[in-house]
Amino acid sequence: MSDCLFCKIIAGEIPGNVVFENDKVFAFRDINPQAPVHVLIVPKKHMANVLECDGETAAALTDAIREIAAKEGVAESGFRVISNCGHDGAQSVNHLHVHLLGGRALPERMG
């Protein structure tokens, strides 16, 4: 999608601090981190949110989460995975993405 920020990052048109990439998934550091580890994990194929996600993409995202959590050193201590969906869910970029947050104890409650 030509006007999608994350599609432009995936295509290399906009720089991103890449932490992982394979044929289906692209991951990069959030520019406004909410934790010491804050990585955005996105499918390379554009889809708006989890409502458009198929099983193959969900599996690819899950595999990437596992690998990135280990690489970033948070797999053992724990981490949080969040996907915002739609306006009321606080989705700021309309391209499916999951936030992997960790590197410190996270609050139990959100908001």
Catalytically annotated residues = 97
Residues 78 and 94: their CA atoms lie apart, in Å, by 27
Nearest to 9 by CA among 35, 29, 23: 29
CA 43 to chain CA mean position, Å = 9
Task: Please compute Rg for the chain using Cα positions.
Answer: 13
CB 101 within 8 A of CB 37: yes
Which alpha helices (DSSP H) does 24-111 contain, by range?
A: 55-71
CB 44 within 8 A of CB 26: yes
